[in-house]
Amino acid sequence: MDTIKLGSVTARGGLEIDAMIATACEIQGGTAFQSLITDQDLPQSREWLSQLEKVESEQEPLGMILGHEKKWLQAQVRSASGIKMYFDECIKARSLDPAKRTRDDFSKEYSARLGWTRQVEAKLAAHAFMLEKGRPPTNWSETVPAYLKSAPDVPFSPGETNPARFSARIVL
């Protein structure tokens, strides 16, 4: 959990590179974290749900990170060497917005990272539901509000016997 929290705070107030480092931290911590979910009792599951909801609520929105990046890039172009570098990049990319492709790729990756937190919350909520009720939930709305504040936008198969088994992962 600490590594996931570290990832969350690393992106706050930073640039794209900071958010990329945050994603790497969350992947490291998240892989280990997910393997421990089904071993937790109900009180620990509820505590982890609370901590994950806090992490999710404190995530830096994508627009904020892109805004920080834009301001930083504008500051770099204020010098003669910065202007030269910008035009060199424009020529190389054959575009007046040479960072567009990188920005678009980053946006997809960061959105996936934000969705990952919600997927892990859903997995943990399903596990807590099973511990308390003795059966898996039949849909995500059964986990609201006892385990989650709102139903997650995570695929749920009614035929799935144990939604806590699905693997939440960042797809990059």
Q: Which domain holds residue 120?
A: 2-67+101-165
The answer as to whether 55 is a domain residue is yes
Residues 6 or more apart whose Cβ sits within 8 Å of residue 99: 73, 89
The answer as to whether 134 is a domain residue is yes
The answer as to whether 125 is a domain residue is yes
Best CA proximity match to 164, nearest among 36, 56, 52 = 36
The answer as to whether 60 is a domain residue is yes
pTM exceeding 0.95: no
The answer as to whether 78 is a domain residue is no
Query: Are the C-beta atoms of residues 27 and 4 closer than 8 Å to each other?
Result: no
- Rounded-to-integer distance, Cα 126 and Cα 158, Å: 13
The answer as to whether 74 is a domain residue is no
The number of domains in the chain is 1
- Map 88-102 to HEC letters: HHHHHHCCCCCCHHH
C-alpha atoms less than 13 angstroms from C-alpha of 157 in its C-beta half-sphere: 8
Cβ atoms within 10 Å of 75's Cβ, excluding its own: 10
The answer as to whether 160 is a domain residue is yes
The answer as to whether 89 is a domain residue is no
Question: Would you call the peptide bond into 145 cis, given omega within 30 degrees of 0 as the criterion?
Answer: yes
Task: Please give the share of the chain, as a percent, with pLDDT higher than 70.
Answer: 90
Q: What is the pLDDT along the chain (172 residues), one digit of tens a residue?
A: 888 888 888 888 889 889 888 888 888 888 888 888 888 899 999 999 999 888 888 888 999 999 998 898 888 888 888 888 888 888 888 888 877 888 898 898 888 888 888 888 888 898 899 999 998 888 888 989 999 888 888 776 544 545 555 454 444 3
Residues 6 or more apart whose Cβ sits within 8 Å of residue 72: 15
pLDDT tens per residue, range 120-129: 888 889 889 9
Beta strands (DSSP E) in the chain are: none
**What is the structure's pLDDT at 78?**
84
